[in-house]
Amino acid sequence: MRALVTGAAGFIGYHTAVRLLDSGHDVVGADNLNSYYDPSLKRARLAELAQHSQRSRGSWEFVRCELEHRGQTEALFARGRFDVVVHLAAQAGVRYSLENPHAYTGSNITGFLNVLEGCRQRRIGRLIYASSSSVYGGHAKVPFAVGDPVEKPVSLYAATKRANELMAHCYTHLFGIATTGLRFFTVYGPWGRPDMAPFRFARAIDQGESLDIYNYGRMLRDFTYVGDIVEGLLRVVECQPSGYRLYNIGNSSPVPLMDFVHAMEKAFGRRARRRFLPMQKGDVVATHADVEEFWQLTGFRPRTSIEDGVARFVEWYRHYFAPARPLPAESHAESVGATR
């Protein structure tokens, strides 16, 4: 199988490309390597992918591409036949969408449209794309069913991801493309994004800095280890669902934020300096994934415990940021609710 993975230099994209290569698939990865957070981490992921491909059964090719640029996207799709497109590229982040909204309409709306058009024009029958738990909005504290009418995005980022779901529905209806949207719930793990809360927690504990905890710690999150996310995504690739599909993919066991902090303190072997702050705009108090439909399709439920997942993340963090390697530059810090 030959797969196109957009956002391949990103957190989830990197892990997805690795797993596809390990399974013997040929992978073309695309990314724009933007500076939303330190591009050196993205380049390091690409270097790891290049080395990994030499040990795997699949082939690897990287293309730098701005998906919102129509000509560049058309050229990307013209690079031979793809059996499936895994679209993970997007402008992520809740808080940054308040500061730079045009970045979201460009990447998440125009870019997504160009990917849909690439699938249509090149007659690629399968598209799997990243959505987000953020689309639920509000102060959710119960599991929602997909398509629940209470969905009310409370950030522009969330609104663009909901728009992606609706756009995919249109292309399935009009052109018969099998589209599967996956609503990721608070993903964490090795090679994670520096702007997300788990990474910032690790930096603060490691450097002895204050750890910002929003809503005074009174938050619940469906923290999901990246290995479980990618395993679920690969199950979707294997299942080849038809038509328009939309699934939650999360741990389905919400964890109090302070329990996550305690797990990280345990992994580092030291207590964090804590600074409790009020709720941020665009954030939600709780997320909880109802994954029953996803389990029925794939037979898979996330199984990595918070303790094991955090320990693996901290092990990678300490190895990656050995004394010889500087910490990444400060990026657009996200709240704990950010998922990608």
Q: Are 187 and 334 in contact (CB under 8 A)?
A: no
Q: Are 200 and 194 in contact (CB under 8 A)?
A: yes
Among residues 99, 101, 139, 257, which one has the least CA distance to residue 188?
257
pLDDT tens, 232-269? 999 999 999 999 999 999 888 889 999 999 999 999 99
Catalytic choice (36, 129, 157, 171): 157
CB atoms within 10 A of CB 51: 11
- Total number of residues shown for the chain: 340
What's the topology of domain 2-187+223-249? Rossmann fold (3.40.50)
pLDDT tens, 110-139? 999 999 999 999 999 999 999 998 888 643
pLDDT tens, 268-292? 999 999 999 998 876 778 777 788 9
CA geometry: angle at 181 spanning 180 and 187, to 5°? 130
Q: Are 247 and 182 in contact (CB under 8 A)?
A: yes
- CA–chain centroid gap for 70, Å, is 23
CB atoms within 10 A of CB 319: 10
pLDDT tens, 49-102? 999 999 998 999 999 999 999 999 999 999 999 999 999 999 988 888 888 999
Average pLDDT, the chain: 89
Model pTM score? 0.90
Q: What are phi and psi of 232, to 5 degrees?
A: -65, -40
The full set of domain ranges for the chain reads: 2-187+223-249
Reply yes or no on whether 157 is catalytic.
yes
